[in-house]
Chains A and B, each alone.
Chain A
């Protein structure tokens, strides 16, 4: 019964989406407020219906109802509960349902929290959100129905792909989807602005929190995915320039550019039309990412046709949702008033350059990802575009971005002073330079590039706080005054500084790979292997029984100069249902670096093939990403951006009048 009601709720959601996509738009067109006001309850209803459908599917997975095809193909009675739940989105059908659920959640959030917003803008935004919902719900119901039954039901399921049976599955896809889908709200805002023809600084203020939310989740999602790949794939890599990863990097680059251009729009009413374009681009790239992966077109142009119904559907959705708004943009954007007065040296100019560089990065990744497909389709020639290409083309683009970041933060809005800004970042630049020189001259080992990268990272981390520090610092003043100033600074200033420093940390971790140590060897039990400052010794092997697997664990002792430091247990797991063996790398974190051991085949004499790594500072790659996201959260807490701030402020003003006027920034 629960399954059927869930299925029914899913179909009802489609009907509600249809209403939501047409009626409010009609209402704003004809001035019929009754129709306009349907948008809010429709968005909330849709969310409740999809929430129920998702709960029903989750119930089927938890209860191991193998009469559902998706459950039978991806679950097993003895599978641990966490993977039964995560398994809901560990397959095509379920993950699409999660996608629309998050879409509806964002729609409902706009409906509930953006009360202060102009009614027309909100109604139009929710209507556009309704279109996306309509398209995806049709895609699910007509080509990828998660509620399909199979009779007779099999007695046992096929189990979830063992490589997916990892806590990463519980966290990574939801984070990434919130990031992808979050950009849909920004997209809807942009299309609504194009429809109404009205675009002002208030628009930028409404959308900025949503851009930030999407960006925060995308940042965390990408970092989480990278760490997951790092610890499961067994050879210590964390980024592969794989098309699937590029698909998540592109919206991140576009979203980062959008975040900065929206700031310019809000402060200076400039870059409006560009910001609108970026808003459309970011979601288009999210859609492209979702579908490039879903359609299988990436593996080969030919596999695209393996499921024609899905393939055609995907093409239609892509064409409508990327082509349509871009056409609308080309038609309406020129009529939007652009009042940009730029001084060559100003914060807004610096941000424009930042946008140019980030967009170039994004286009480079896009070209590299799609070029082989296009070339094969046009000429039949096959080429590969991989890591060496991306490293070579993006390196020269990222370096100037990093160099400009602290400088841009130190330049004032409207009319800046380049010399003054340069002076302010001197300390950071000197710090970076000294580190690089010391690394090259004294420590050696790594390449010049690695040393330069590390120097750049130090420059960025120190430089990120230069602006904040100069705004707090007051000659001859006591600590209390400075503390008051620090607290008084807008949160967005702190957020920006923290996020930039986070990128610096990530860069530091990337550069430090230049000093990594790798050993590939057939290791005897008890043999000591040197790993940078540490030594590793595999002492013995033990068999263990897990819930739905058996594993062979190699007990390994890590020591330093003969003294015991810690122990680590790399393992190999066998899953009988799918007859698969996966490698569980043994990883231990030692002062931001990691020892990483993964096991291969065992030989008759008891020795084992193993890969052992010492990866200095490697964790700062992901810690940096988490700090970037934290910077986003701090920025989000800025009072200007708080969702529904205007409404609460109005209420406060009524409550304790006479109200103190809002301090101007």
Chain B
């Protein structure tokens, strides 16, 4: 269904991007300091392009994404830490901008779900194994005995 995604992408492209551009980060955005640039890329990959569908600003072609990329680099040049840059953006746009939502009361279930399913499943599995080992197999009922006898009498049907 990625092709449908592309329809959406296209509508975004049509609405919000003036010149078409391959890819997202443009040469004129790149910082001269490679260490700073690498940090900017890493931060960008975790920030959502707010007008796109689940795309990071590092991948997005939208004009807003470019503004945000420039903003991230601006803040880094001011000497802010990665955390400070993120905190600044969250203050401005809310948690919506983080592609990895912070762990809090609202997202506890989201983050806890894998452990919950895994734990519950493991308990069911272990419990099932235990029960089998402790209880001997139930004796056959009369009906089952008849069935068994009938099966032995007739030829294998499979």
Contacts and interface: CB of A to CB of B under 8 A. Distances in A.
Interface of A: 90, 161-164, 168-169, 172-173, 176, 202, 225-226, 228-229, 232-237, 240-245, 247-248, 289, 293, 298-299, 340-342, 344, 349, 352-353, 356-357, 359-360, 363-364, 367-368, 371, 375, 379, 381-389, 392-393, 397, 520-522, 572, 580-583, 585, 598-601, 609-611
Contacts of A176: 1
Contact of A384 (B99, B117, B118): B99
A356 B122 contact: yes
A90 B46 CA distance: 32
22 contacts: A173-B1, A229-B2, A229-B5, A235-B24, A240-B54, A242-B2, A242-B55, A342-B128, A349-B129, A353-B125, A356-B125, A360-B118, A367-B113, A375-B106, A383-B96, A383-B101, A383-B106, A384-B99, A520-B23, A522-B28, A600-B21, A611-B23
B134 interface: no
A385 B110 contact: yes
Contacts of B98: 383-384
Interface in B68-127: 94-101, 106-107, 109-111, 113-114, 117-118, 121-122, 125
A234 B26 CA distance: 13
B132 interface: yes
Contacts of A385: 99-101, 110
Given A298-B53, A364-B113, A611-B23, A293 B4 contact: yes
A382 B96 contact: yes
A609 B51 CA distance: 24
Contacts of A381: 94-95, 106
Interface residues of B, number: 56
A248 B1 contact: yes
B121 A387 contact: no
Given A299-B8, A609-B26, A582 B2 contact: no
Contact of A234 (B22, B97, B128): B22
B54 A363 contact: no
A599 to B, nearest CB: 5
Nearest to B110: A371
A473 B121 CA distance: 38
A248 B5 CA distance: 12
B45 A388 contact: yes
Given A360-B114, A364-B113, 16 more contacts: A163-B9, A234-B23, A242-B5, A244-B4, A248-B1, A341-B137, A356-B122, A359-B121, A383-B96, A383-B101, A384-B48, A386-B100, A572-B22, A580-B14, A599-B22, A600-B23
Contact of B54 (A241, A359, A379, A582): A241
A225 B53 CA distance: 17
Nearest to A238: B2
Nearest to A296: B8
B5 A392 contact: no
B53 to A, nearest CB: 6
B27 interface: yes
B34 interface: no
Contacts of B1: 173, 176, 225, 244-245, 247-248, 289, 293
A356 B118 contact: yes
Nearest to B101: A383
Give me the 3 closest cross-chain CB pairs, A-B, nearest first.
Answer: A386-B99, A388-B100, A598-B22
Contacts of B96: 382-384
A360 B100 contact: no
B139 interface: no
B6 interface: yes
A78 B109 CA distance: 53
Contacts of B53: 242-243, 298-299
Contact of A583 (B22, B56, B101, B132): B22
B46 A172 contact: no
B80 to A, nearest CB: 20
Interface string B47-73: 010000111100100000000000000
Contacts of B30: 520
B58 to A, nearest CB: 9
Given A340-B128, A389-B101, A583-B22, A228 B56 contact: no
B10 interface: yes
Nearest to A613: B23
Contacts of B21: 600-601, 609
B20 interface: yes
